[in-house]
Amino acid sequence: MIRLHQLLALFAFATLAQAGQSATRCGSSLVNEGAWPIEVEESCGPPDYVAEYPTTTIPGLGVVQTVEHWYYNPGPQRFIRRMVFRNGTLARVDDLGYGFHVSDSPSCDLNTLRHARTEYELIARCGEPESRRVEWQFPSSQRHAKSWQTRQAVLVQEWLYDFSDNQFRQVVRLRNGQVVDIASRPGR
């Protein structure tokens, strides 16, 4: 019985130690949080899509902090990975659902827009939007917070797509690179 408890404790310790490392496998290599972009590219190859956004600007100095989203699409049998870099450091890795085949000649319609889940999938399937709006929003603070909490700004984008065969333009709303809403907007 004591032996069983020792094995369970060892298993729990190994699981916790592994969870604390936050490593992602790329082929035969591991990429850890804190890695440089060049280290990620050497291990994982070039990303399928990169989106870069300023997070902080100072008048007279310009952009002083950035966030980059690197997307890796391994195809429909595996998950898309988004690697988030803050100021040139790998901050986190997100799994975004199953990948897809990328067409050499993307064609986009309303149905394609409705099934897209990320900014990368929109670009790969529909191309660049006609116009974009980008802003950073802070989530509302809790009035009775027990301790000081760091509030992280949320990247909110609106992308406008105009289909010649449709009388309405489509506005795709994204939060942190993920599609959250699509709305019709009267054209011209």
Sheet with strand 49-58: strands edge to edge: 49-58, 62-72, 79-86, 89-98
According to CATH, the topology of domain 24-98 is: Beta-lactamase Inhibitory Protein; Chain:B, domain 1 (3.30.1450)
pTM: 0.74
As given in the structure block, the two tokens for residue 72 are 């890796």
- Distance CA(113)–CA(105), nearest Å, equals 16
Q: Give CATH 3.30.1450 domain extents, the chain.
A: 24-98
**Could you report the per-residue pLDDT of 165-179, keeping only the tens digit for each?**
666 889 999 998 899
User: Would you place residue 20 in the very low, low, confident or very high pLDDT band (cuts 50, 70, 90)?
Assistant: very low
Q: Contact, 161 vs 141, CB < 8 A?
A: no
